[in-house]
Amino acid sequence: MTENPQVAASRAVAYLRVSTSRQMDTATDIDADGLSIATQREFTARKARDLGAIIDKEFIEPGNSALSIDKRPKFKELLKHVMATPGIDYVIIYMRSRAFRNLGDAVITKRHLAKLGIKLVSARENFGEGYMADAMEAVTDIFNELESRRNGEDVKAKMRYKMLAGGYNGRAKVGYLNVRESHNGKLFNTIALDPERAPLVRQVFELYATGDYTQQELHLAAVDLGLTQRPTPQMPYPRPVGSTTIENILSDPFFAGWVQVDGRLIKGRHEAIISQALFDRVQDVLEARSRNSNRDRVLYHYLKGLLVCGRCAQAGRANRLIYTQVKGRSGEYHGYYLCRGRQKKTCDLRHLPVANVEDAVAEHYQSLPIADSFVTGAERAITDALREEQAVTEELQAALRAQLSRLATREERLIDLAADGALDRSKITTRANQIAQERARIEARLTETRADLQIGATRLREALELARHLDHLFLALPDDGKHKLTRALFDRLEVDEGDYDITVSGHQLKAPFNDVFEAATAHAQRSAAGHPDMEPPKRTIPCHEAGDHRLVSALTGIQLVGGSSTGYLVGADGFEPPTARV
């Protein structure tokens, strides 16, 4: 607030405004309200002194760029203040363009203030008095409105062009951050993945793609996971995402790497949070639930999400089988699997009764068990690999300890050079940092022990034992157990219908079962050829960090990976697929 030390007969209020909130952050070391507001304050105070008035109160509009004063809350607050406060003589603005963006608002406000005996004054513009001054003010307001609209259209055109090139405008969506990056020495606005929220957004898609969550349940799960909106100046604390936000996220192709312009999808320049395949699976679930206005009904079947159309796979198309239920004449619901390609008119596979599909999968399990002789040989190979790995590990650790000893010698020499003043401080600091980083790398590698390989070997033995009894295990399990077992083994099962029955025409196994069954198949082929004990080729498998390569036995396709950093065998949770912890 600026006051004239002289006793003044007139009183005024000042209106200061910036178009964007960023202008409030410029040169805050000089003025807490930013350089633009500070400049306006200086000129309005100078105008008040010229008028012989004191400024009772300031109204600062931070970042409301609107064509109408109806969307400027501080200006409306100013009008209420002068109506409720007798004795105000002037409303001082920096320039008319700061207060008004159209002639209508300017005329109405001026007349309204005049009825209260208040004069509207511009600090930077002196139009004088009389009807010619009124005419000049009106012309100025008209040109301000013209310029505002012209700038608005120009900005819209530029924003549209940016989106046609795959760019994005405005506040980043949940899972992304607004950032400034440099290109050829010039800064530009763009978006980047939010390291905190992007993984949670991906998990929201993954949970819904299972078909086990309604949107209401998914919203609660997202809140439990900790997915929040980013703070804003108005809401400085993170808030849990709302149910509407979750609903919008699920159907927005932006998260799969697209932007929409005039209803068209254009490949965006931003990094996708989810794959196109995951986005398509979510759309399948949304589409299936939207049918018959039954958006929130969750249809459960233990094979749901694992089956793909074998007919489409043969044709080079990727279409999942969607589980649905049809109400019969008796009023009972009957389960079917239908190909998504049939909905698109690209596949002629009929609706498959769920009981027949279950029989086909059970029959497929009967073909999976592996021979006892292969399991015995594989376990022997694992034991041999562990024995060989122990010797390699001991040699590696001896070499690493020697490297640490040499580093200690280098460090002592560096200390001597520093004491003698033979090197300047910057070079000493650089070399000391290099030694420290190298020591940390070596010590980290020393902590890698045979236990890593032992864990991987244990998991592989579990996989062998599981594969040995798959046929009996599958039939004995309840539906929930069949669901977990099938998800642990397979990425997908390809289902097709022949002339007489429904069959599993192909599958894609998860690691390590893909290698186990590949090895078992090779073993069976050699046995059939009369060479069951033929020595298979060994493979060199890179393990741990780059540059550390060790020979690990790989018999008949079985891979034993030395250490969890390559993480190839099975995760720490065993063979049951991860479930949402919500």
So which residues are the catalytic ones? 19
Closest CA to 513 of 532, 547, 485: 485
User: Alpha-carbon distance 538 to 553, whole Å?
Assistant: 6
Neighbouring C-beta atoms of residue 215, cutoff 10 Å:
16
CB 13 within 8 A of CB 91: yes
Q: One-letter amino acid identity for 416?
A: D
Those residues whose C-beta lies under 8 Å from the C-beta of residue 138, and which sit 6 or more positions away, are: 103, 106, 107
CB 243 within 8 A of CB 219: yes
Q: What is the DSSP letter of 576?
A: S
Specify which residues 335 forms β-bridges with.
325
- Classify 13 as helix, strand or coil: strand
Phi, psi of 19 (to 5 degrees): -80, -35
Dihedral of alpha carbons 496, 502, 506, 511, sign: positive
CA 167 from chain centre, in angstroms, equals 17
Compute the 3-state secondary structure of the chain and give helix, strand, coil in percent, each to the nearest 5. 50, 15, 35
Neighbouring C-beta atoms of residue 210, cutoff 10 Å:
16
User: Alpha-carbon distance 374 to 379, whole Å?
Assistant: 9
Those residues whose C-beta lies under 8 Å from the C-beta of residue 20, and which sit 6 or more positions away, are: 63, 65
In this structure, the dihedral spanned by the alpha carbons of residues 97, 102, 107 and 110, taken in order and rounded to 10 degrees, is -30
- Tracing tokens 């924003």 back to the chain, one arrives at 159
User: Alpha-carbon distance 562 to 299, whole Å?
Assistant: 42
Specify which residues 186 forms β-bridges with.
183
Specify which residues 475 forms β-bridges with.
none
Q: For residue 406, how many C-alpha atoms fall within 13 Å in the half-sphere facing its CB? A: 8
